[in-house]
Amino acid sequence: MKGEENLFDLRGIERILIRSTNWLGDAVMATPAIGAIRQSFPNAHITILVTPLVAELFSPHDCIDEVMVYDKKGHHAGLAGRLCLAQELRARCFDMAILLQNALDAALITWLARVPVRMGYRTDGRGLLLTHGCPVTRETKRFHHVVYYLKMLDHFGISAESKTLHLTVSEQEEREAEKVLQAAGIGKDEFLIGINPGATYGSAKRWYPERFAAVADELCKRWNGKTIITGGPDELGIADEIAAATETECLNLAGRTSLRQLMAIIKRCNFFITNDSGPMHIAAAFNVPLVAIFGPTDQTTTSPFSDLSVVVRQEMECAPCLLRKCPTDHSCMAAVTATSVIEQSLKLRQRLNGKVV
């Protein structure tokens, strides 16, 4: 229930700052909340404050007018850098800051910037720095992240008509993606299966190269498709292992694309096999049918927010542990077989097509 102390006149809000989350996947899951803000303030100038990588995600985005980069490792490093950022924000004269990120740092900087309305969850002991704080309960922590962000906004009277994830790629970016694929012999109408073996959070979330390869081969044969491997520079090793193990035609793009290029490539895919990762949420946002492999992370809060998705996991006493590296035998991921992922992929496509595939 909305408390009277949290209600305020939404009229007269002309300049809004949104502090985005730092993780790529979390930022994608926050897009319905961003859409709700735009819907509630259709004429406002909306700026989003993001890390350098997440900045690419919103450059451009239909709901955002301006992207500001918070470079904690560069220009905004240390106390001096944060004071500099606060001055930059203060100069823009924001009427309101909406903090989707939970950190104390987010509240402190907007307080230093003297933004008059500062709303967010009361986390990390930052309640006194917020003018409008939303309580966090045990129930709140169990919400899917999409719902978590929307619940906070709804607490203050900012409601959403839609919970749909939303990202933007331009027609030029789509054309460039097609050129990359065509140069590799992948035609515009060919069935394209994306394999995403990486997971920035840590090795515990990563499934095995030989199993990804087995899945890619079987699905390519059944669906007469071709495979691309996606990922960042840190996934080059595992991507190369998959490419070497596949028997069918495979294009390895890991570490060879910018985030914007990756988004366009993922949008072009007809099917996606992935670990729990940022690209998984990007695929969900573009309505790409996908099978997601979960082990140490909690699918109830971070599963792909899409009706075109299936999560494959095995119940384990130790999961979800949320650890970056497995301290034992990686049993949660080892228990997920290539056969189970293939079966779930076939069932999903059968359900979507309404026929046997």
Helix 145-155 and helix 31-40, axial crossing angle in degrees, nearest 10: 30
pLDDT top residue among 346 and 322: 346
Checking if the pLDDT of 44 tops 80, the result is: yes
Q: Which phi and psi (to 5°) does residue 133 adopt?
A: -105, 140
Cα–Cα distance measured from residue 129 to residue 319, given in angstroms and rounded to the nearest whole number:
35
Q: How many CB atoms lie within 10 A of CB 95?
A: 16
- pLDDT, mean of residues 143-151: 97
316-319's contacts with Cβ under 8 Å and 24+ in sequence apart are: 319/295
Confidence of residue 200 (pLDDT cuts 50, 70, 90): low
Checking if the pLDDT of 324 tops 60, the result is: no
Q: Which phi and psi (to 5°) does residue 117 adopt?
A: -115, 120
Is 171-353 in CATH node 3.40.50.2000? yes
Name the average pLDDT for the chain.
90
Q: Do domains 4-155 and 171-353 have the same CATH topology?
A: yes
pLDDT at 357: 44
Report which DSSP code applies to 56: H
Percent of the chain scored above 90 by pLDDT? Answer: 79
Cα–Cα distance measured from residue 298 to residue 292, given in angstroms and rounded to the nearest whole number:
12
Instruction: Name the residue ranges covered by the structural domains of the chain.
Output: 4-155, 171-353
Burial of residue 153 (CB within 10 Å: 0-12, 13-18, 19+) is buried
pLDDT tens, 231-241?
Answer: 988 888 899 99
pLDDT at 328: 53
Checking if the pLDDT of 115 tops 50, the result is: yes
- pLDDT, mean of residues 166-186: 96
Q: Which CATH number fits domain 4-155: 1.10.1370.30, 3.90.79.10, 3.40.50.2000, 3.30.565.10?
A: 3.40.50.2000
Checking if the pLDDT of 168 tops 90, the result is: yes
